Amino acid sequence: MTKVAMIGFGGIAQSVHLPAHLKLEQEGRSKLVAVCDVDPTRFEKAMEINIGGSELKLSDDVKRYTDWQEMLDNEEVDMVDICVPTYLHAPIAKAVLARGIHVLSEKPMSLSYEESMSMCEAAKAADRKLMIGQCVRFAGPYNFLRDAVKNNTFGKIVTGVFRRMSGPPVWGWDNWFMDYERSHGCALDMHIHDLDFIRYMMGEPDAVSCETKDFYSGRDVAHSRLYYGDASLLVIGDWSLEGVEFCADFRVAFEKATVVYADGKLMVYPRGGEAYEAKVSDKDWYFAEIEFFLDMLQKGVENTVNQPESAALSVKLVDALCESADKGGEKITYSL
- Interface with ligand NAD (CB under 6 A): 7-13, 36-39, 42, 49, 68, 83-86, 88, 106-107, 133, 135, 171-173, 176, 189
CA distance linking residue 117 with residue 124, whole number of Å: 11
Smallest separation (angstroms) from ligand NAD to the CB of 212: 17
Smallest separation (angstroms) from ligand NAD to the CB of 38: 4
CA distance linking residue 88 with residue 128, whole number of Å: 19
Neighbour count for residue 86 (Cβ, 10 Å): 21
Residue 105 CA, chain-centre distance (Å), reads: 9
Q: Which residues contact residue 239 at a Cβ distance below 8 angstroms, ignoring those fewer than 6 apart?
A: 165, 166, 167, 168, 169, 177, 186, 189, 190, 220, 221
CA distance linking residue 115 with residue 48, whole number of Å: 30
Nearer to ligand NAD, 88 or 297 (CB): 88
Nearer to ligand NAD, 200 or 254 (CB): 200
Nearer to ligand NAD, 37 or 78 (CB): 37
Smallest separation (angstroms) from ligand NAD to the CB of 127: 25
Neighbour count for residue 99 (Cβ, 10 Å): 14
Find out whether 116 and 312 touch, Cβ atoms under 8 Å: yes
CA distance linking residue 101 with residue 76, whole number of Å: 9
Nearer to ligand NAD, 172 or 334 (CB): 172
Nearer to ligand NAD, 9 or 197 (CB): 9
Diameter of the chain by CA atoms? 64
Smallest separation (angstroms) from ligand NAD to the CB of 5: 11
Alpha-carbon torsion 76, 78, 81, 86, what sign?
positive
Nearer to ligand NAD, 36 or 145 (CB): 36
Smallest separation (angstroms) from ligand NAD to the CB of 107: 5
Neighbour count for residue 156 (Cβ, 10 Å): 13
CA distance linking residue 207 with residue 320, whole number of Å: 9
Nearer to ligand NAD, 7 or 260 (CB): 7
CA dihedral (249, 255, 256, 259) in degrees, to 10, reads 0
Nearer to ligand NAD, 73 or 330 (CB): 73
Q: Which residues contact residue 26 at a Cβ distance below 8 angstroms, ignoring those fewer than 6 apart?
A: none
Nearer to ligand NAD, 192 or 260 (CB): 192
Q: What is the number of the residue whose Cβ is closest to ligand NAD?
A: 10
Q: Which of 49, 18, 50 is nearest to 34 (CA)?
A: 18
Interstrand relation of 257-262 and 52-53 (parallel, antiparallel or unpaired)? unpaired
Smallest separation (angstroms) from ligand NAD to the CB of 289: 8
